[in-house]
């Protein structure tokens, strides 16, 4: 690798890493506004801008097959109708998050079909994250909230589902985190395979 290329690569890595480590946000639910800062004295009131959802773990021997991929369609359809979210968008998120494994758990603590973090599960009223219907209904409710926040922009909503809405607001679009960029492209690919159409 030439020195200039190495320096640029190092600089970009340092820049993104610095943002991940040093930028925090405070959220006011009354105004739906974020305040960003590089200092945080109390982690009860401010949170890091980005925290990975971790690696998803499945039981040994878990496999996805066509039957498993379609077994939650009736629940997905009800969630789609109830919350006004595209059926295939929900299904694409489930596939990306858990490969349709109701027992999937990530190293960061996300759980179930739509990989709900504990705070998110509480926010959307899910009591049992391993219950397929509760998880899909709750995850879809949260996805609808993100779609509404980003004025129907599915790409921003999907990015927010992975990285959190604060990161999308801060970067005014998809955050430059490898996990999030890959996630957004994965959702797009799944949606296109299901429908033959572009999601954005």
Neighbours of 178 (CB within 10 A): 9
Helix, strand and coil percent figures for the chain, each rounded to 5: 55, 10, 40
Say how far apart CA 191 and CA 86 lie, in whole Å: 10
Report the DSSP beta bridge partners of residue 24: 37, 48
For residues 170 and 180, the answer to whether their CB atoms sit within 8 Å is no
Asked if residue 68 lies in contact with residue 121, where contact means CB atoms within 8 angstroms, the answer is: no
Q: What is the C-alpha to C-alpha distance for residues 99 and 115, in angstroms, rounded to an integer?
A: 10
Instruction: With beta carbons less than 8 A apart as the criterion, state whether 199 and 96 touch.
Output: no
Give CA–CA dist 14/94, Å, rounded. 32
Q: Which of 55, 69, 81, 97 is catalytic?
A: 97
Is 97 one of the catalytic residues?
A: yes
| Distance separating alpha carbons of residues 54 and 193, to the nearest angstrom | 26
Residues carrying an active site annotation? 97
């Amino acid at each position: 690798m030439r020195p200039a290329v190495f320096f640029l690569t190092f600089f970009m890595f340092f820049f993104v890493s610095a943002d991940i480590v040093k930028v925090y946000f405070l959220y006011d639910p009354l105004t739906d506004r974020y305040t960003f800062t590089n200092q945080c004295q109390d982690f009860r009131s401010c949170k890091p801008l980005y925290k990975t959802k971790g690696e998803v773990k499945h039981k040994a021997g878990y496999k996805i097959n066509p039957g498993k991929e379609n077994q939650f369609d009736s629940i997905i359809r009800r969630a789609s109708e109830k919350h006004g979210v595209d059926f295939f968008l929900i299904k694409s998120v489930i596939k990306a998050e858990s490969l349709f494994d109701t027992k999937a758990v990530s190293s960061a603590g996300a759980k179930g079909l739509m990989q709900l973090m504990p705070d998110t599960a509480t926010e959307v009223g899910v009591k049992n994250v391993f219950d397929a219907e509760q998880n899909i209904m709750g995850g879809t409710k949260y996805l609808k909230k993100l779609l509404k926040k980003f004025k129907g922009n599915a790409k921003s909503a999907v990015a927010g589902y992975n990285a959190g809405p604060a990161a999308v607001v801060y970067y005014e679009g998809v955050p430059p985190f490898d996990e999030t960029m890959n996630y957004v492209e994965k959702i797009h690919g799944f949606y296109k395979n299901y429908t033959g159409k572009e999601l954005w």
